[in-house]
Homo-oligomer: A and B are copies of this chain.
Amino acid sequence: MTAPSGPALPVPDGLVEAFRDYERAAAEGDTTALARFVAPGSSTLAGDPHGLLVGSDAITAYAAAPPPRRLVQTHVQVTDPDHALVVALTEHESGGRGQQTQLWARTADGWVITAAHTSEPPPALDSRIWRVVGDPLVPGTPGGPLSGESVAVKDVYAVAGHPVGGGNPAWEAGAPVERGDAKAVLGLVEAGADLRGIARADELGWSLFGANPHFGTPPNPRAPYRVPGGSSSGPASAVSLGHATIGLGTDTAGSVRVPAAYQGLYGVRTTHGAIGTHGVLALAPSFDSVGWLTRDADLLALVGDVLLPDTAGPAGTSELVLVPELLALAEPDVRDAVESWAAAQGLVVRETWSLGELDEWRRAFSTWQAWEAWTVRGPWLRERLHLLGPDVRARFEHAATIDERTAERAQGVVQTARTRLRELVGDRVLVLPTTPSVAPLLGSDLGPVRGATLLLTCLAPLGGLPAVSLPLRTAAGLPCGVSLTAAPGRDRDLLALAASLG
């Protein structure tokens, strides 16, 4: 260790030894030994590329051992005989340099770290978020309305020159190189947006949380250590991180709206069928819709101007309808955020809907979705179910067991629900919590969250309705969303409304 120049205090007794012990534990990846250096208490800090952890409990639960690296330089600044800052320049076995800054304090139990800050050299690309990325991958046509914007395309859209990966390595390995772009991709590039790259999806588009077992879970920058939301997880994280301004996704059961809510973004699911899905990897054609995410409402609307059909939608009002039974499906923190938002808007009508069939609708939605998913993917998957991650595999395995009569019954319920929902919404705008909760913590049991989330997110696909999710925050500062849903074809109205509500 080099001593600081000037009138510096001597390096206190035991610090060098403690630092060496820490480094030995780091080199051995010994997390138990490393944990002993975390100062106990709620004010201890540990920041790394995943986020800032506050409190020794969070640090011991989430902080990872540093990757293999050696120290190139070590500097010590002693502030008093019981405290010193130790700054190390690190060279990583995998290449590149990082920095480790630690505030050490002497306690009765020896030297501990009260604050740590670790930087690591970033990878070439964050492969949790991206499959391919370029500066740009494909330049936008100059002079269009989306000039200066950049698009992260979910890896279910055809991009000329690349296979469609679909979030599964085996699918990707067998997929042909596409000869043309999917319609929505081409539309954005022709409108001037640069194609930034192809972003990760949950496996075959069938998940709401973004925890892809093959490529890793994309980060949620506004809610670290929580899931990003899926299945348009890569485009959502790319937009959150400013890697792209537009995330082009698909939404079958909530795959655009859920990551929008979890990450504090704007997101739209368009009217089913409004934007062609030729060149898009299907999941459940009755519900699959094109959608996108942005960090601001004006751009969300501008993309709609480019991609949506020019034909005028049905006439409608901007009357906002809040249904207490639906609001009650959300957890208190999200409900409060939506209530506060609604209270700040004009023209909000509270209306009681008779929703006794909601559970039945949700089950019918899931059954029909699964039936369609097995119809489109079964022929390829039949011999390859073992190549899927456990959650998506379980869903496809269940899908394979659905018999035709069950599927037809479900389809009947879906049609009833569609008619009923369209009647209920009428020419107004339904206000819903986008999801019932904030983004779940990584590693938590997602099964119950999935069911509760679908109860809210299945309404738009059941009705074939467009939906726009606006970002809100809970009292604790975590992202959540409020959704505006209206009659089919009212996409532009919703986008304009979202832009006016900001």
Instruction: Contact check, A240 vs B197: say whether CB atoms are below 8 A apart.
Output: no
Report B-chain residues with C-beta under 8 Å of the C-beta of A132. 132-135, 137
Stretch from A43-51, A252-260, A411-419, A422-430 at the B interface = A43-51
Instruction: Contact check, B139 vs A173: say whether CB atoms are below 8 A apart.
Output: yes
Report B-chain residues with C-beta under 8 Å of the C-beta of A222. 91, 97
* C-alpha spacing A296/B182, complex, angstroms: 43
- Interface flags, A157-185, vs B, CB<8A=1, else 0: 00001100000000001000100000000
Known: A8-B43, A43-B4. Is A115-B101 also a contact (CB below 8 A)?
Answer: yes
Report B-chain residues with C-beta under 8 Å of the C-beta of A94. 242
Instruction: Contact check, B85 vs A240: say whether CB atoms are below 8 A apart.
Output: no
* C-alpha spacing A142/B178, complex, angstroms: 22
Report B-chain residues with C-beta under 8 Å of the C-beta of A240. 95-96
Known: A52-B99, A79-B83, A135-B132. Is A47-B119 also a contact (CB below 8 A)?
Answer: yes
Instruction: Contact check, B97 vs A75: say whether CB atoms are below 8 A apart.
Output: no
- One of B43, B83, B197 near A6 (C-beta < 8 A): B43
Report B-chain residues with C-beta under 8 Å of the C-beta of A137. 132
Instruction: Contact check, A124 vs B119: say whether CB atoms are below 8 A apart.
Output: no
Report B-chain residues with C-beta under 8 Å of the C-beta of A95. 221, 239-243, 295
Known: A95-B221, A125-B125. Is A45-B133 also a contact (CB below 8 A)?
Answer: no
Is A105 interfacial (CB 8 A cutoff)?
A: yes
Known: A43-B4, A242-B94. Is A77-B121 also a contact (CB below 8 A)?
Answer: no
Is A10 interfacial (CB 8 A cutoff)?
A: no
Is A126 interfacial (CB 8 A cutoff)?
A: yes
Is A334 interfacial (CB 8 A cutoff)?
A: no
- Closest CB of chain B to A173's CB: distance in Å? 7
* Interface members, chain A 104-152 (any B CB < 8 Å): 105, 114-115, 117, 119, 121-127, 129-135, 137, 139
Is A103 interfacial (CB 8 A cutoff)?
A: yes
- One of B82, B103, B162, B173 near A77 (C-beta < 8 A): B103
Instruction: Contact check, A115 vs B79: say whether CB atoms are below 8 A apart.
Output: no
Known: A77-B115, A124-B238, A242-B92. Is A51-B135 also a contact (CB below 8 A)?
Answer: no
* C-alpha spacing A85/B51, complex, angstroms: 18
Report B-chain residues with C-beta under 8 Å of the C-beta of A241. 95-96, 121, 124
* C-alpha spacing A135/B80, complex, angstroms: 48
Is A87 interfacial (CB 8 A cutoff)?
A: yes
Report B-chain residues with C-beta under 8 Å of the C-beta of A196. 124
Instruction: Contact check, A79 vs B52: say whether CB atoms are below 8 A apart.
Output: no
Report B-chain residues with C-beta under 8 Å of the C-beta of A130. 124, 134-135
* C-alpha spacing A51/B94, complex, angstroms: 17
Count class of interface residues, chain A: 35 or more
Is A41 interfacial (CB 8 A cutoff)?
A: yes
Known: A135-B132, A224-B97. Is A73-B89 also a contact (CB below 8 A)?
Answer: no
- One of B5, B82, B139, B239 near A43 (C-beta < 8 A): B5
- One of B121, B124, B139, B242 near A121 (C-beta < 8 A): B242
Is A352 interfacial (CB 8 A cutoff)?
A: no
- Closest CB of chain B to A154's CB: distance in Å? 15
Known: A47-B101, A96-B221, A130-B124. Is A80-B83 also a contact (CB below 8 A)?
Answer: yes
Q: Which residue of B lies closest to A80 (CB)?
A: B80
Is A373 interfacial (CB 8 A cutoff)?
A: no
Instruction: Contact check, B114 vs A117: say whether CB atoms are below 8 A apart.
Output: no
Is A462 interfacial (CB 8 A cutoff)?
A: no
Report B-chain residues with C-beta under 8 Å of the C-beta of A261. none
Instruction: Contact check, B85 vs A103: say whether CB atoms are below 8 A apart.
Output: yes
Instruction: Contact check, B119 vs A117: say whether CB atoms are below 8 A apart.
Output: yes
Report B-chain residues with C-beta under 8 Å of the C-beta of A239. 95
Is A42 interfacial (CB 8 A cutoff)?
A: yes
- In the complex, given contacts A79-B82, A95-B239, what are 12 additional A-B residue pairs having Cβ atoms less than 8 angstroms apart? A4-B43, A45-B87, A47-B87, A47-B89, A79-B83, A85-B115, A95-B241, A101-B117, A119-B119, A124-B238, A131-B134, A131-B135
17 A-B pairs whose Cβ atoms sit less than 8 Å apart in the complex: A3-B43, A6-B41, A47-B87, A80-B83, A85-B103, A95-B221, A95-B241, A95-B242, A96-B240, A97-B222, A101-B117, A121-B221, A121-B241, A124-B238, A125-B134, A131-B134, A135-B215
Hey, which bits of chain A sit against chain B, CB under 8 A?
3-6, 8, 41-43, 45, 47, 49, 51-52, 54, 73, 75, 77, 79-80, 82-83, 85, 87, 89, 91-92, 94-97, 99, 101, 103, 105, 114-115, 117, 119, 121-127, 129-135, 137, 139, 161-162, 173, 177, 196-197, 215, 221-222, 224, 238-244, 295
